[in-house]
């Protein structure tokens, strides 16, 4: 059975150190429930309570499920791997102690931390990518995180490709999938990031379906993408300009995606993520419009 969730990033609660203020978790969870969602991801560490009893009470108060937690790690830096494992274990323990051991660790690069990748998000060329040695380091780090979390708590890890990080383009996603154990590391396919990174999410869904354990619904506005390239927006400016628009207003073929998920009897979560900067836009209105859009597709 496919279940529909949202995430705190749709309210501007992001992992980056940015100006502006996002609403508190009580408002976010309340508005998720009011707009028709069944679950949430954790958000950045500290956005929601980090005490398991308090966290469970907070989530259950709004009749929601907790289904994943985002963990950014600078995987291309082998010296960051131990700190990354420590953060992933801490996060996984919170999920486990709260009673959500079926939730995922959503592992990603430390997006926005590398100047070139941040400046040229959506415009990445091969010269901006990892060396072969760094690819081995990156993949090894991802596997070490996934293995540690699984061995300690039985919680699975999915990798979230992301613009502004080292795994953005279709070729980079393919390379990471080639270098990692499919029984250990799944893929969180984010439709908007894959499109902004130059790919077709429908093609990715077909190609990697057996690796896709978790799904993010995000749309991509190609007009903002063209302006981003023409006016030299960095990743954050692109987000500010609305590169990730409301579902149905961009070029992602969600109808085909939903039909494929239904045909393949996908039994998991779809998480809506319409990334906005803190204080930007009307998150509750967008959340309602996005839920109605998905409902009109049959979910």
CATH code assigned at 142: 3.20.20.150
Please report the pLDDT score of residue 66 as a whole number. 98
Please report the pLDDT score of residue 207 as a whole number. 98
Q: How many domains does the chain have?
A: 1
> What are the helix and strand counts (H, E) for the chain?
12, 8
Tell me which range, 7-11, 268-272, 275-279, is most confidently predicted by mean pLDDT.
Answer: 268-272
Please report the pLDDT score of residue 275 as a whole number. 87
Please report the pLDDT score of residue 12 as a whole number. 81
What is the Cα 214 distance to its own chain's centre? 9
Residue 21 pLDDT greater than 70, yes or no: no
Residue 276's pLDDT band (cuts 50, 70, 90): confident
Closest CA to 175 of 166, 162, 184: 166
Mean pLDDT of the chain: 95
Nearest 10 degrees: Cα torsion 68, 185, 73, 69: 0
10 Å CB burial of residue 56 (0-12, 13-18, 19+) is middle
Residue 200 pLDDT greater than 60, yes or no: yes
Average the pLDDT over 195-221 and give the result: 98
- One-character DSSP codes across 188-254: EEEHHHHHHTT--HHHHHHHHGGGEEEEEE----HHHHHHHHHHT--HHHHHHTTSS--TTSSS--H
Q: Domain range spanning residue 112?
A: 3-296
**Structure confidence by residue, pLDDT tens digits, 29-82:** 999 999 999 999 998 888 999 999 999 999 999 999 999 999 999 999 999 999
Nearest 10 degrees: Cα torsion 78, 88, 165, 21: -130
* Cβ(169)–Cβ(117) below 8 Å: no
Please report the pLDDT score of residue 14 as a whole number. 65
Task: Tell me which of 38-52, 161-175, 252-266, 274-288 is least confident.
Answer: 274-288
* DSSP annotation of 76: T
Residue 281's pLDDT band (cuts 50, 70, 90): confident
**Structure confidence by residue, pLDDT tens digits, 91-135:** 999 999 999 999 999 999 999 999 999 999 999 999 999 999 999
Task: Tell me which of 82-91, 205-214, 270-279 is least confident.
Answer: 270-279
CA distance 165 to 114: 7
Residue 15's pLDDT band (cuts 50, 70, 90): low
Please report the pLDDT score of residue 16 as a whole number. 45
Percent of the chain with pLDDT over 90: 91
The pTM is what? 0.95
Please report the pLDDT score of residue 19 as a whole number. 47
Closest CA to 46 of 73, 69, 79, 19: 69
Residue 22's pLDDT band (cuts 50, 70, 90): low
Average the pLDDT over 158-179 and give the result: 98
Average the pLDDT over 160-177 and give the result: 98
10 Å CB burial of residue 100 (0-12, 13-18, 19+) is buried
Residue 254's pLDDT band (cuts 50, 70, 90): very high
H/E segment holding residue 137: helix 132-153
């Amino acid at each position: 059975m496919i279940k529909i969730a949202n995430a705190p990033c749709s309210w501007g609660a992001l992992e980056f150190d940015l100006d502006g203020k996002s609403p508190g978790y009580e408002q976010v969870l309340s508005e998720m429930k009011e707009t028709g969602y069944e679950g949430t991801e954790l958000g950045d560490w500290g956005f929601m309570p980090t005490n398991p009893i308090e966290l469970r009470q907070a989530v259950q108060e709004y009749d929601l499920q907790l289904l994943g937690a985002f963990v950014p790690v600078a995987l291309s830096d082998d010296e960051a791997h131990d700190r990354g494992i420590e953060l992933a274990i801490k996060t996984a323990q919170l999920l486990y102690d709260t009673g959500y051991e079926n939730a995922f660790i959503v592992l990603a690069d430390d997006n926005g931390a590398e100047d070139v990748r941040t400046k040229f998000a959506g415009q990445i060329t091969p010269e901006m990518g990892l060396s072969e040695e760094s690819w081995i380091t990156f993949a090894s780090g991802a596997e070490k995180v996934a293995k540690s979390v699984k061995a300690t708590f039985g919680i699975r890890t999915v990798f979230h490709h992301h613009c502004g990080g080292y795994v953005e383009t279709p070729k980079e996603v393919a390379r990471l999938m080639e270098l990692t154990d499919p029984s250990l590391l799944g893929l969180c396919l984010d439709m908007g990031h894959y499109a902004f990174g130059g790919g077709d999410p429908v093609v990715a869904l077909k190609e990697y379906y057996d690796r896709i354990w978790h799904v993010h619904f995000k749309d991509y506005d190609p007009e903002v993408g063209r302006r981003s390239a023409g006016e030299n927006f960095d990743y954050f400016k692109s987000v500010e300009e609305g590169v990730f628009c409301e579902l149905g207003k961009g070029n992602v073929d969600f109808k085909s995606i939903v039909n494929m998920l239904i045909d393949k009897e996908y039994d998991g979560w779809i998480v809506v993520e319409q990334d906005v900067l803190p204080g930007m836009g009307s998150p509750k209105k967008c959340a309602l419009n996005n839920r109605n859009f998905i409902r009109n597709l049959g979910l």
